[in-house]
Chain A
Amino acid sequence: MKSMRRGKVVRYNKWGYIFLTPFILVYLVFQFIPLVSTIYNSFFENYRSGLTQIGPNFLGLENYKTIFSNGDILTYGKNTIIMWVMGFVPQIIVSLLLAAWFSNPSLRLKGQRFFKTVIYLPNLIMASAFAMLFFTLFSDGGPVNSILMQVGILDQPYKFMSSIWSTRTLVAFMNFLMWFGNTTILLMAGMMGIDTALFEAAEVDGATSTQAFFKITLPLLRPILVYVMITSLIGGLQMFDVPQILTNATGDPMRSTMTLIMYLNKHLYSKNYGLGGALSVVMFVVTGILSMIVYKFTNKKMD
């Protein structure tokens, strides 16, 4: 009887593999093979110079040396990180504040659903359209300059796209707008999970709500904060649509808003597969390490 049942279970369980087949097949073909060939490409000299095709010739690690020694990867990596930090710092502060207010039972805020709907909206808007919109709004003769002049803050139009820091600020500001709603909702879900008895006990002991926030909420929220920060960093390293459209793929002024993926995109268009491959592999390794950290955190939470 027992063995018969076991046989049946085994017969069912082969369906586990059958149902996994589509995922595995598609993953192997469209993700794994491309990954292997990207790594393979990174060891070869392979590009077009005018109409002549150079390579592929085996170079070993020469491509990696090139992207690090000519400073490109460092410059563009620095740009990417600077713009990510400029967006992430206000994002995490505003999100923490809003999430604390939304989840605070003694505040009893009304219209929460409306506010949450509004702050999440920018996240769903097409990033390229959003960047195009900001480009027109902040252009020299655009509405923002027009409004600032009407109010009397400016005498003449401010050229937002001509200064390094104002362009970077625009990119960071767009990233902030697009992501703080998402972060607020994530943090709120985390705060809702904290035992309310802790807050009640703190209140009885005479703690103010500010103290409760810093002494109870923040420490208990730390795993989620780390998770939010690292996933945001992984997303930040992929920054592309916004600066690409805003600066029309130039990364101007003076390549100060050129991100790593914009640089990769350039190599893909010009079919420089050697350097593009090396850059991809470097980014793969970096995101891989960051993913491992995220994986550790999610895993801990699941146990």
Chain B
Amino acid sequence: MRKEKETGVKKGINIKARRAIAYLVLVLISVLCLFWFYVLFINATRSHAELTKGFTPVPGGNLWINWKNLSAGRAASALPIWYGLFNSFFIATFSAALCTYFSTMTAYAIHAYEFQLKKFMFTFILMIMMIPTQVTALGFLQLVGKMNLDDSFIPLIIPSIASPVTFFYMKQYMESALPLSLIEAARIDGSGEFRTFNSIVIPLMKPAIAVQAIFTFVTSWNNYFTPALILHTDRKKTLPILIAQLRSTDWLKFDMGQVYVMIVFSILPIIVIYVFLSKYIVQGVAMGSVKG
């Protein structure tokens, strides 16, 4: 009896100690994640002269001047940041829209219909899921050149129609959210297949479409490899290419305040999206993984 009580007490302390350790580690790891962004935002508010003197943990009052200098292009090499923002936004938005719409369509074809090549197509899409775009970049570039689409947004947007990862997520979601009896009922009511897809399937798939739209948007926004190979004109470049350009300029002559503001400028849209939608994003990652 006494022994039992003892182990009970011991266990209670044990759990408390373990909980304390867990919180401590979690706080440390959170600091490790956020520290860099903290320094970034602090430094974006300080002038070049202040920055060369060393780091201080309190913000300065130079944010607006740094921003003015950057956006007015008073740097050694002026970066067309507004064009960059617009281009990134344009490509990411259209990629997200096309990718989610057509991936839902592909998933619907496999989910709702019985046809001879169904199993083959499903297996095929799963097998190509992991093949990275980089290994076909060479042929892709040649093809883009032959199609006269060099320096155009089209080769950065259209390929997102065939996205195996998004397809797979949509297919998983349909299994739990789209009963075949519903499609049957729509048929009996005389709805055409295409209309059923647009007016019944798409609205039902909205939660999955939203999650995948965010992911595709972010991936496209952050993409550097392919756009850097395709876009050449300064005013057509996306933000990651401008960041790379900033890195390759003679940065010793550069106003560091502007460098920090430029980094803030290119990541802030995603951080804002994340602050509002983090719940759905984190859930989306977990959901995609349950069976994936």
Residues on A facing B (Cβ under 8 Å): 9, 12-20, 22-24, 26-27, 29-31, 33-38, 40-41, 94, 97-98, 101, 106-109, 113, 115-122, 124-130, 132-137, 141, 143, 146-147, 149-150, 177, 181-182, 185-186, 188-190, 193, 209, 231, 234, 237-238, 240-241, 244-245, 248-249, 261, 264-265, 267-269, 273, 276-277, 280-281, 283-284, 287-288, 290-292, 294-295, 298-299, 301-302
Q: Is B142 an interface residue (CB 8 A)?
A: yes
Contact between B115 and A41 (Cβ–Cβ < 8 Å)?
no
Partner of B29 from the list A119, A133, A136, A273 (CB cut-off 8 Å) is A119
Partner of A268 from the list B30, B137, B143 (CB cut-off 8 Å) is B137
Contact between B132 and A238 (Cβ–Cβ < 8 Å)?
yes
Residues on B facing A (Cβ under 8 Å): 15, 18-19, 22-23, 25-26, 29-30, 32-34, 36, 39-40, 43, 52, 54-55, 102-103, 105-106, 108-110, 112-115, 117-118, 121, 125-143, 155, 158-159, 161-162, 167, 187, 193-194, 197, 218, 221-222, 224-225, 229, 239-240, 243-244, 246-248, 256, 259-260, 263, 266-267, 270-271, 274, 278-279, 281-282, 285-287, 289-292
Chain A residues in 8 Å Cβ range of B130: 231, 234, 287, 290-291, 294-295
Docked CA distance A186–B291 (Å): 10
Docked CA distance A234–B34 (Å): 27
Q: Beyond A19-B108, A122-B33: 5 further Cβ-contacts under 8 Å? A: A31-B162, A34-B143, A98-B29, A125-B271, A150-B55
Docked CA distance A125–B18 (Å): 32
Contact between B167 and A23 (Cβ–Cβ < 8 Å)?
yes
Docked CA distance A136–B259 (Å): 9
Chain B residues in 8 Å Cβ range of A17: 109, 115, 117
CB distance from A139 to the nearest CB of B (A): 8
Complex A-B: 12 CB contacts under 8 Å: A22-B161, A30-B155, A31-B133, A41-B138, A98-B29, A113-B282, A127-B222, A128-B243, A149-B54, A231-B130, A280-B138, A287-B132
Docked CA distance A20–B104 (Å): 10
